[in-house]
Structure 1
Amino acid sequence: MKSTLFTFLIFAFTIYNVQAQDWETDFTAAKKEASKNNRPIILVFQGSDWCAPCIKLDREIWSTENFKTYAKDHYIMLQADFPRKNKNALSQTQTAANKQLAETYNKQGFFPFVVILDSKGEVLGQISYKKTTPENFIKELNNFIK
């Protein structure tokens, strides 16, 4: 019984890791990775547990196989999450880092808010949620990238 449960948990964890979007949460690390791989940073401001359009953007774009496959080779995905529920609370360090990103790139406090940055942190463009396909969203993101 224990070995069956253990095998199932390993299998489920492996599937989750293969399918999960690879999000960076450290801005310095994201810039370093973007510079090293010559990729733009897609900075996403979201309220993962309270913002309905944020949840839709995640479900309809970020979590799709088409987007994840494309993003893996073309973008550095940086997440600045602002959850409200205690069970989803981030560390104080991460909360402070996300607030600093918001002060720099999202002064109006829009959610969701997507900022396209170069490897130095310069803004190339910005968009928000809209009902579209992952392929069209990718095209919109790429319109900001020179």
Structure 2
Amino acid sequence: MRLASLLFCASLALSAPAALAQTTPAPATSAAAPAWTASLATALQQAKATNKPVLAVFSGSDWCKPCIMLKQEVFDKPEFAQFAKDRLVLARFDFPRSKKNKLSPEAVKQNEEAAAKLNKEGSFPLVVLLSPEGKVLAKTGYRPGGVAAYDAYLESLLAKK
């Protein structure tokens, strides 16, 4: 009797994921994930072509707690994608420390070149707003309050340009 019960439970457990996959709808997204470039030169070219400012983000994705929080609470949200879509050119420069997250030599070089121009202090996270011509409009970092508060803050910084 125990063996039959065990086999029955095991068969239910094995069939449950397939049944759930058939009945669970895919989550709807309100905006596609924004495209982030890893090249400051490319970001500035796009900014000039579209007359949009650049949002350059310097992060330590696997060691900097505020960097991780900023990404999770703001940049990974569909509301940010919607906000940034017609307003910003996005560039991310990451400085991971873990061997498993090691960047290619080319990516390290690009990130270090961007940091030499915009993040000489080595601040993390650092968010830099640049004009399409490359002029620094504002520097900021992590701010609590989530995506709506951050988008409003960025909007206020852009209004000052």
Both structures adopt the same fold (TM-score exceeding 0.5): yes
Task: Please name the residue that 1:130 is paired with.
Answer: 143
Q: Once superposed, which parts of structure 1, at least 4 consecutive aligned residues long, lie more than 4 Å away?
A: none
TM-score, with length taken from structure 1? 0.83
Q: Tell me the secondary structure at the aligned position of residue 31 of structure 1.
A: helix
- Which of 106, 115, 129 aligns to 1:102? It is 115
Distance in 2, matches of 1:105 and 1:27, equals 10
Once the 2 structures are TM-superposed, how far is the Cα of residue 74 of structure 1 from its aligned partner? Answer: 1.0
| 1:46 aligned residue | 59
Q: 1:116 aligns with which of 118, 129, 143?
A: 129
Match among 92, 96, 109 for residue 83 of structure 1: 96
Q: Residue 144 of structure 1: CA displacement?
A: 2.6
- Structure 2 residue 105 is the aligned partner of structure 1 residue 92: yes
Q: For 2:92, what is the secondary structure of its paired residue?
A: strand
Match of 2:35 among 22, 34, 37: 22
How far residue 95 of structure 1 moved from its aligned partner, in angstroms, is 0.5
Kindly report the root-mean-square deviation, in angstroms, between the aligned alpha carbons of the 2 structures.
Answer: 1.9
Identity %: 35
From 69, 89, 108, the counterpart of 2:82? 69
- Other structure's SS at 2:97 match: coil
Separation in 1 of the partners of 2:129 and 2:101?
Answer: 26
Aligned length: 132
Deviation at 1:71, TM superposition (A): 0.8
Query: Which one has the largest radius of gyration?
Result: 2
Q: What is the CA–CA distance in structure 2 between the aligned matches of 1:37 and 1:139, rounded to whole Å? A: 22
